[in-house]
Structure 1
Amino acid sequence: MTPEQLSTAIVDVLTGLSSEGAITLPDGVPATVTVERPRSKEHGDYATNVALQLAKKAGMNPRAFAELVQASLLRVDGVEAVDIAGPGFLNISVSAEAQGVVAAQIVEEGASYGRTAVLQGERINVEFISANPTGPLHLGHTRWAVVGDAIGRVLAAAGAEVTREFYINDRGNQMNLFGASLEAAALGRPTPEDGYHGAYIADLAREIVEADPAIVELPPEERLVAFREKGYELQLRHQQEQLDRFNTHFDVWFSERSLHDSNDVVTGLEKLRGQGHLFDADGALWMRTTDFGDDKDRVLIRSNGELTYFASDTAYYVNKRERGFDRCIYLLGADHHGYVGRLRAMAACAGDDPDRNIEVLIGQLVKIMRDGEEVRLSKRSGEIVSLEELVDEIGTDALRYSLARYPADSPLVLDVAEITKASNDNPVYYVQYGHARCCRMMENAAELGMSLPEEFDPSLLSHEREGELLRSLAEFPRVVAAAAELRHPHRVARYLEDMTSTFNRWYDTRECRMLPQGDEPVAPVNEARLVLVAAARTVLANGLDLLGVSAPERM
């Protein structure tokens, strides 16, 4: 019996009591009831404070309310005992059979186990990398590539329709400096002041010239544009390849330049004018964001007719809303705290609800340490360490898991040696090894002629350690739902570590051996435990997938 199934059973009990007139709830019976795992097994398998929550509304003493629920709940199949603690807490124990059914449910649902419908019907846009196509992706992008992708995965698992979006900052003077840097490298000239340095510039320039030798013969103005545009194409492709290799995939690569080329910026601003929050002053066009809590009003078009970055940001948000997204989530770096208020105010000026339609998450910095020193410089970019180099040195799985297991709004220091060592002290190794152990156990069972039974007796999974493991497995859908609703994918990682520990305790318990010993024949209890192992393997694989990390069968 899962927490969700028990919650449904309690709701049914409350509905029955209400229909009988035993309780009166002015607001009606709640759609769901919170059911939690108590810290101590002495308090049962599950606990709920529903009596404390509803007794006052029903005009009753909480303990008297709890006694009514207790009497009805004891008649529910699978409920073995219901104890009342303190002023009205209900501690519930379920039968081994009811608990063991969870293993069969997990195996039957397979890759879909853990998915829920808590966000069904929501269309969510998650923009989690905004970068210039002028150089390699760096460490800051790397953290968002992991966290943003994992947020997208848990949102989808919770039933939302998710679009993952990369915002290409392909407009502005940095693009001309990029083109000039490539041109200078190709012609053997010094890099322009404020230009781009690093070996990758020479590599790109060489690639451009090899593909089109005549480019160096173009007139100067044409040549600069040609280098800029070809370099843009190649560097963007490299970024896409790096992210694909890192198991981060985007549904939309949105060009800032396209907003201006299609006149969407001007069109978007004109639409906003109708909302009444734009005004002209000092020859410039402003948005009165102070109406909605911003610390100052924002310029959209300067007095010289030049559009500001905020004008692009505004038009981009309007574009997203016109594409039908209910909620636009932005993942921004640590130096963007000031953007939170202005983006929320901008959404309000557009006539939206900033608590509903826009969400801005701020991440903190990451430091990578090697031999006690921070890794700062890149061999390729000449400035900061790149995503590509991190993947080469650390590996996709170790890097992704290590970045995903911490809240994004906390500063993070990672040691290369620690996150790559093959030891149970390393969380990613520990969890992946747990999955590989499950696979090996199932292979060993197959060698003895055992296979997953079509039916088994779930009551045979009656050992205390088996109950612990089953309760842990049953928590997975709730963990995923919470990770999605709170935008906290690190909850999945921490759950996987706890679940692996619970599995290992079961594995180390002599009384819970899965395989028959010596010449013993395969018994029903062996088959039941095989189903339990298959369930654990499924949950570990599904959880790792939500983090974009592989689930190896051998290690």
Structure 2
Amino acid sequence: MTPANLADTVLSAARAVFETRGLDLAALPATTAVERPRNPEHGDYASTLALQLGKKVGVAPRELAAALAEELGRRAGIKSVEIAGPGFLNIRLDAAVTGTIARTVVEAGAAYGRNSKLAGQRINLEFVSANPTGPIHLGHTRWAAVGDSLRRVLTAAGAEVTSEYYINDAGAQVDRFARSLYAAANGQPAPDDGYGGDYIGEIAQQILGEEPELAGRPAQDALPVFWARGYQLMLSEIRQSLERFGVHFDVWFSEKDLHDGGSVEHAIDTLRKQGHIFEHEGAIWLRTTDFGDDKDRVLIRSNGEKTYFAADAAYYINKRERGFDRCVYLLGADHHGYIGRLKAIAACAGDDPGQNIEILIGQLVNLVRGGQPVRLSKRAGNIITLDELLEAVGADAARYSLARSSTDSTLTLDIEEITRHSSDNPVFYVQYAHARIASLLRNAAEKGIARAGDYDPALLSHEREKNLLKTLGEFPAVVATAAELREPHRIAVYLEERVATDYHRFYDACQVLPRGDEAPTEFTQPRLWLAEATRTVIANGLDLLGVSAPERM
């Protein structure tokens, strides 16, 4: 019986009590939850349902708890129910019931942990969206790891998710990029507002290798070629870097297409119909202050030039018209000012900014080696690139380390720490638990011991076994919470602090395989099932973070 199964049993018992006593069934919640008490002596799980409902239906919470305890005591698998304090229910399960969690996990396999918490939601998840004017740098890399993990977690919770990369290819930055390439191709220094770094010279030489006649041609003739080809090469490099990092986008959306396809004009017409457009001093404005923005925003300047804000509005409306219920933006630390204006766009478009749009802001990443800052990139100039990080630590260590902490705070990564093969390195600690189980299962096969088709769950009664079983049973709820709160780091915390730790404690306390010439015992099969269930949860959890589950280390 998983915690979710037990919660359903508690709610079913409450419904029976309400019907017997003639209480208002409408007061019952659609779902409830149970929690593991901090003190194991208080039972296996606790419920606060009687406290939540007592006053609503005019029954003292402790009296209601007593009725619930009596009803629960009749349910299969419930060993005992005690009432504590003003109406807490402390529930103890039969060992056999707890032991069945291993079977539930193993039989579900890769599907274990998936749930329907967000079923029916269509979510557009935009992240990274770096300008196509340089390599992916460390700041983008954090959002790549977090964003892709969030995509996986949201999907596991039942949402229909489209991951999207917004290509900022309509602004002046791409023009500066083209001028920088032209200058490098002609042996000139980069423009004052241009881009530096060895990669500019590399791309310029690649373009000249394809079209050598560009050398020495006037800027007005050569710049369109450098613009188009340089943009293609840079975007291709960005795609390849992200793919090496295990990050795939469903949609690559061009800002230029918004302008060329008339989407900006369409968005302005849409906002005008909602009554929030006004003209002032020859410019067209959106009255975003009606919805909490700090100032109204210009859409089209008096000279007819469309603003970046106009493209932002068009992009949001385009997403909604593609059928997405919720548009989630993952933005960098320097984008706090975007929260108010993007939410105001949603409101001006007639949407609910509390439901249809979310803006998540991530903090900076610092890279150190042995406590000392890592030098800046020679290739990219003033940044550290994703490719350089991958070369230094590998995709697994990079992804896990970037995704395991809340994005609310600045993150410092020490290359030496995250590549160390020791238990104080979180990614090694979790992956080692998986490899240790894989080794155990190989050893079992070598001894001619195969995991049988079934086992006696009542034999998994050791305290270490029970703790591990309860931890495994919580995985679906951990996934659901991580999805609802948009916090994929909860998966890593769960794997580190709960699953891996509880497994190592179980393994140290409970002999799984016979030693030497010993024969298998009655505990061998149930413990093999428990080990396999733990392996499954670790593999599934690591997959949600985009990290491999190695068989050997």
Q: Same fold (TM over 0.5)?
A: yes
Contact 1:116/1:481 (CA < 8 Å) preserved in 2? Answer: yes
Matches of 1:496 and 1:69, distance apart in 2: 34
CA distance, structure 2, for counterparts of residue 329 and residue 79 of structure 1? 42
Q: 1:88 is matched by which residue type in structure 2?
A: G
Residue 268 of structure 2 corresponds to residue 259 of structure 1: no
- What residue number does 2:15 align with? 15
Corresponding residue of 1:505: 505
Distance in 2 (CA, whole Å) between partners of 1:469 and 1:550 is: 22
2:545 is matched with which residue: 544, 547, 554? 547
Q: Does the Cα contact within 8 Å between 1:23 and 1:58 map onto a contact in 2?
A: no
Is 1:6 the counterpart of 2:25? The answer is: no
**Partner-residue secondary structure (3-state), 1:406:** coil
How many angstroms does 1:376 deviate by? 4.9
Distance 1:212 1:436 in 2: 52
Runs of 4 or more, structure 1, over 6 Å off, are none
CA contact (8 A) 1:376 1:384 kept: no
Q: What SS is found at the alignment partner of 2:26?
A: coil
Alpha-carbon distance between aligned partners in 2 of 1:251 and 1:183, rounded to the nearest angstrom: 33
Q: Structure 2 CA distance, aligned partners of 1:451 and 1:268?
A: 63
Aligned equivalent of 1:128: 127
> Could you tell me which amino acid in structure 2 is paired with residue 253 of structure 1?
W
Deviations 1:394-422 (A, max 9, x none): 21111111111111111111211111111
C-alpha separation in 2, matches of 1:184 and 1:58: 77
Superposed CA deviations along residues 50-90 of structure 1, whole A, max 9, x for unmatched, are: 11000111211111100100011011111111111111100
Partner SS for 1:130 = coil
Secondary structure in 2 aligned to 1:480?
A: helix
CA distance in 2, matches of 1:36, 1:372: 40
Q: Which residue of 2 aligns with 1:247?
A: 246
Paired residues of 1:119 and 1:158 also in contact (CA < 8 A): yes
CA distance in 2, matches of 1:459, 1:31: 32
* TM-score, scaled relative to structure 1: 0.98
Deviation of 1:218 (Å)? 5.2
Shift of 1:100: 0.9
Please say if 1:351 is aligned against 2:355: no
The within-5 A match list for 1:482-493 is 482-493=481-492
2:152 alignment counterpart: 153
* 1:9-158 matched pairs, under 5 angstroms: 9-20=9-20, 22=21, 24-25=23-24, 27-158=26-157
Superposition RMSD in Å: 1.2
Aligned-residue offset at 1:167 = 0.7
Q: Within 2, Cα distance between the matches of 1:23 and 1:431?
A: 51
> Is the contact made by 2:19 and 2:25 (CA closer than 8 Å) also made in structure 1?
no
Q: Is the 8 A contact 1:458 1:528 kept in 2?
A: yes
Determine the structure 2 residue equivalent to 1:521.
Answer: 519
- Indicate whether 1:306 and 2:302 are aligned: no
Match of 2:277 in 1: 278
Q: CA deviation at 1:222?
A: 2.7
Q: Deviations over 1:447-466 (max 9, x none)?
A: 11122211111111111110
- Structure 2 distance, partners of 1:153, 1:415, is 26
The answer on whether the counterparts of 1:25 and 1:57 sit within 8 Å (CA) in structure 2 is: no
465-474 or 220-229, which moves further after superposition? 220-229
Deviation of residue 129 (structure 1)? 1.3
Note if contact 1:120-1:158 (Cα within 8 Å) is conserved in structure 2: yes
Asked whether the 8 Å contact 1:259–1:312 carries over to 2, the reply is yes
Task: Note the C-alpha offset of 1:505.
Answer: 0.5
**Structure 2 residue aligned with 1:215:** 214
Out of 307-316 and 455-464, give the one that drifted further. 455-464
Distance 2:81 2:135 in 1: 60
CA-to-partner distance for each residue in 1:142-182, whole Å, 9 max, x for gaps? 11001111111110000000011111111122111111111
- Residue 234 of structure 2 corresponds to 235
Residues 100-499 of structure 1 mapped to structure 2, 5 A cutoff:
100-216=99-215, 220-498=219-497, 499=499
Question: Residue 217 of structure 1: CA displacement?
Answer: 6.5
CA distance in 1, matches of 2:516, 2:416: 42
1:501-548 CA distance string (max 9 Å, x none)? 011000111xx1110233332233201110100000000000001111
- Structure 1 alignment gaps of length 5 or more: none
Matched residue SS, 1:508: helix
Identity %: 58
CA contact (8 A) 1:26 1:57 kept: no
The whole-number CA distance in structure 2 between the counterparts of 1:358 and 1:174 is 27
**1:199-234, CA deviations, whole angstroms, 9 ceiling, x for partnerless residues?**
111111111122232333655323111011101001
1:538 — aligned with what? 536
> In the alignment, is the contact (CA less than 8 A) between 2:133 and 2:234 conserved in 1?
yes
CA deviations 1:250-296 (Å, max 9, x no partner) are 11111111100111111111111100011111100000011111111
| Aligned equivalents of 2:217, 2:157: Cα separation in 1 | 54
Show CA shifts across 1:14-48 (max 9, x none).
1212222x251363422211211111110111101
SS in structure 2 opposite 1:125?
strand
Supply the distance in 1 between the matched residues of 2:136 and 2:485 (Cα, whole angstroms).
Answer: 27
CA shift for structure 1 position 361? 0.6
Aligned mates of 2:433, 2:231 — CA distance in 1:
44
TM-score under structure 2 normalisation?
0.98
Residue identity matched to 2:77: G
